[in-house]
Amino acid sequence: MRAFHASCSIRALAADKRGTVTIVGAALIAGLIGIISLVAEYGLTLERQTEDQRIADIAAYAAATYYGAHSGDSNVLAKATSVAQNVGQLNGIPTTGVTAAVVPSPQDSTKNALRVIVTTTPTLFLGRVLGAHTTLTTRGTSYVQFGGGVSACITALSASTGITLSGGTAISAPQCGISTNATLTIPCGTTITAKGVSYGGATPTQGCSGITTQTLTHASVTDPLAANTGIVAAESYVASIASQTGPAAPTVSSPSIAFDLSWKGATSQTSGSCTASFNSSNSTWTITCPNGGTYNFASFADGSSKTALGGGMTVLFNTGGNGTSIYNFSTVVNDSGSSMTFGPGAYNFAAGFISGNGNTNTFAGGGTYNFGRSTTKCSNGAYYSICDTSTVTFSGASAFALSSGIYVGGGATLTMGSGTNNSFKIGAASDGNAFWLGGGAKITLADATGNSSLFQVTGNVNADAGGGSCMSLGAATNHDINGWFSTAGGTILGAGTYTINGYLAYGANGGGSVSCNGSTVGLRGTGVTIIYSAATTPSGGTCSGKGLCFAAGFSNVNVSAPTSGTYAFLLFVGPQSGNSAGAYFSGGSGASMSGAFYLPVGAFTMAGGAYINTLTGGCLQIVALSVSMSGGTTAASTCITGSGGSGSSTPKFVM
């Protein structure tokens, strides 16, 4: 009976499903709790890693700032690491969990970065239950790059020559960087003070710890100005000047008017529709021609063999005219000791103009003046369009076209134009010179800033013959000179761009600063950019082989670049390919300059006590193939921010 009952109970229990549901439900609940716990623990780990990254960023920036400000210290990395670890401790991270190192920047391998790693090991509570790992390592990594905020004001692009100082030279660039693709040579007695210094070659040689900087970085540098709009424009523009030619000489057909103004007793003459009357009380000839005509003159002498005027006289040539007449002269006009005044109008001197014997010749009221080549040599043995050994003045707004240049002898004075609406086209004399100035000569060209103004010189500007000369060139948008420019005297440059297809030399054959327009001048100019091709270079002397040269004696140099426009902040732009002629400063050529020197294929050299200072409120930037300085001081600051910076005290996050 009990056996039967037991058998029935077992079968009933087996058929009952309620217990199975309970067991499965319990198992599912336990699994769900485990998954929720795992997700929660994973979330906490992610939060910890995010916190590690935040702390790493703060620590890296703080440490990089310290490193940048103390990069010259021998233990700067250890101290920067301590800064990072202090930040970690303030955020609950032990010092062992924070490391710092200087490594190549992951954004730009040519620059360095400070890398900070923050590491933590949060506990995994579920791991204890499951018998697995009880901790998990999390990490935050931050890179802060040096070189993100300082542009170089002195840059040497060569990978082999670099920047070399000697003989007591000091470079002062406290607000900018010094960069070289090679190395730095800083012997005892020389110093560099800069916000940042970078070098691409060997560790700088500094015999007496001559480098004072916030960052000293091993990094290469790219040309910071190569893509500058003005630099690109300069290269193509100077190439175009090479094809520039001078103006043609005027021609005079059928000359029919002739006067004999030699010393004779005649009181009046008539030729064509013009008259000449003589006042014996003051030895003055007055020539009058009706307004509005064209007058072709054969001679001012005796009408046949003579071209010179009589000595000791004064000639007034149509001084009451209204400027509408055209006056053509077929033979050379030679005052031969007389003083002449020409009224306004258009003048064509087919055979040039000679002014001598200390007299004064004036072209009054402005006009158009075209000169051919004289048939008489000037004192230097060459044929010019104007040969001045006295005083010649062109007053009023004037347009000049001279086929064969201008000669101003020793002590003579030539003034060309006044006001702003002038124009100059000057060709070369028989010796290749567009200008020739003797010792103590003075020449002044007025501004050429009118709508139709030009300033074009084809031939050399040669003021090398003797010291004491003074040349003043007026303002113009472009001063185009297809030739070299060399002087032993003072030069005043009006605002604008000077493009020289050759070299620029001050003191190549001696000379120096002179009294020019009331002040002592070597070179002076405001708002100027000088572009030179170095297609030719001096063959001897101090400036031999140089594209730009300031020799001893030029101690009053004060020039500044424009601050706006295509050539903003560009002062001197040398050849960008081919000609490697560099810039050279020698002797006591103290200079105050503002603007950038750009010599990507040439050397920048200072020697013999030369020095350059930055104009107050200005800047001085040098980008050259190499930089060599001895016996002088250079005060530099950045003019144009470019891509080729150096180290920086302003850090930049890169990862």
581 vs 19: CA distance, rounded Å: 102
pLDDT in tens, 136-189: 788 889 898 865 546 789 999 999 999 999 888 889 888 889 999 998 989 999
Q: Residue 151: which of 172, 181, 175 has the closest Cα?
A: 175
**Beta strands per DSSP E along 181-253:** 184-186, 191-199, 205-206, 211-218
527's enclosing H/E stretch is: none
Show the beta-strand stretches assigned E in 464-522. 470-473, 478-482, 485-487, 490-493, 496-500, 504-506, 514-516, 519-521
Strand partners, 351: none
Instruction: State how far the Cα of 623 lies from the Cα of 180, in Å rounded to an integer.
Output: 10
Largest CA distance in the chain: 183
Q: Rounded to the nearest 10 degrees, how much is the dihedral formed by the CA atoms of 505, 609, 596, 203?
A: 130
Three-state SS at 302: coil
Query: What sign has the CA pseudo-torsion 302, 306, 311, 315?
Result: positive
Do 186 and 207 touch, CB atoms closer than 8 A? yes
Q: Which of 273, 158, 118, 17 is nearest to 627 (CA)?
A: 158
Report residue 390: phi and psi, to 5°.
-140, -120
Handedness of CA 162, 166, 169, 170 (dihedral sign): positive
Contact status, residue 294 vs residue 267, Cβ threshold 8 Å: no
The phi, psi pair for 247, rounded to 5°, reads: -75, 155
**Residue 500 · residue 486 · CB < 8 Å:** no
The residues that bridge with 421 in the sheet, in sequence order, are 448
- Residue 217's closest CA among 240, 232, 229, 200? 200
Which long-range contacts does 91-96 make (Cβ < 8 Å, 24+ apart)? 91/51, 91/55, 91/58, 93/52, 93/55, 93/118, 93/120
56-101 pLDDT, tens digit each: 888 988 888 887 666 545 577 888 899 999 988 989 899 998 999 9
CA distance to 309, 326, 535, per residue, from 364 (Å): 20, 15, 39
Q: Which residues pair with 103 in a beta bridge?
A: 113
| Residue in 382, 366, 356 with CA at minimum distance from that of residue 321 | 366
Question: Using an 8 Å Cβ cutoff, are 369 and 386 in contact?
Answer: no
Residues 6 or more apart whose Cβ sits within 8 Å of residue 36: none
- CB-based contact 81:102 (threshold 8 Å): no
User: What is the DSSP secondary structure assignment for residue 54, as one 8-state letter?
Assistant: H
Low-confidence ranges of the chain (pLDDT < 50): 1-8, 10, 13, 72, 149, 303-307, 643-649
The rounded distance, in Å, linking the Cα atoms of 135 and 114 is 29
Where are the extended beta strands (E) located within 518-569?
519-521, 523-526, 528-532, 548-550, 557-560
Those residues with Cβ within 8 angstroms of residue 652's Cβ, 6 or more apart along the chain or in another chain: 144, 145, 147, 148, 149
Q: What is the DSSP letter of 87?
A: H
**Residue 271: per-residue pLDDT:** 94
Contact criterion met (CB below 8 Å) for 218 and 237: no
Ranges of H-type helices in 242-369? none
Task: Give the HSE-up count for residue 1: Cα atoms under 13 Å, Cβ half-sphere.
Answer: 0
Q: Which tokens in the block code for residue 195? A: 């916000």
Please tell me what DSSP assigns to residue 305.
Answer: S
Which residue, among 300, 253, 294, has the nearest Cα to 276 in the 3D structure?
A: 300
Distance of alpha carbon 585 from alpha carbon 632, whole angstroms: 10
What does the alpha-carbon distance between residue 532 and residue 528 come to, in Å, rounded to a whole number?
Answer: 13
